[in-house]
Amino acid sequence: MKVAIIADTHDNLRAVSYLTGAFNAGGIEALIHAGDFISPFVVPALDQFKGEVHGAFGNNDGDRKTLLSQSEGTDVSITEPPLQVELGGLTFAITHTPDQLAEANLDVDCHVHGHTHEPEVTRTDDVLKINPGEAGGWLTGTTHFALIDTENKQVRIRTVPAP
């Protein structure tokens, strides 16, 4: 299974629309969002993705109630971290900050977080730790995302100019 991972979209609707279109065209089957959606306006853009979107709230997500109500009846699911989800035979723990991952202490194959806006992939024991970087591109001028193939646990970080 091919899974895309994003974080820190920070209301950049152009970036989210660009990414969901690219993920749909690329045959991506599921999407993980590791927080900092910011406002409910991003939910319809995320819902353009053809598969399920699994997201955890970030520290800057202010109107959580409306984010949740906007996602009702869509394939976008947003919850308090840590979110644990199984995709393609791998179990993912999804949070926004790296500290939340340490506190969760879950037995999973992959830890996913955002928050730092810096892409990074590491392995500790048999656990993949993935920070896709910032998808919004506000700080760096570039949009980052990660792609994981759950069959071989290969992760690729991709960077494109921020739309």
Calpha distance 39→61 (Å, rounded): 7
Q: Which domains does the chain have, with CATH numbers?
A: 2-161 (3.60.21.10)
Banded model confidence at residue 124, pLDDT cuts 50, 70, 90: confident
Q: Which pLDDT value is given to residue 145?
A: 98
Angle at 159 between CA 157 and CA 161, to 5 degrees: 170
Q: Which pLDDT value is given to residue 106?
A: 85
Mean pLDDT along residues 103-108: 82
Q: Which pLDDT value is given to residue 5?
A: 98
Calpha distance 81→83 (Å, rounded): 5
pLDDT digits (tens, 9 = 90+) for 50-73: 999 999 999 999 899 999 999 999
The answer, yes or no, to whether the previous bond of 82 is cis (omega within 30 of 0) is yes
Look at residue 162 and tell me whether its pLDDT is greater than 90: no
Calpha distance 11→122 (Å, rounded): 28
Say what percent of the chain tops pLDDT 90.
90
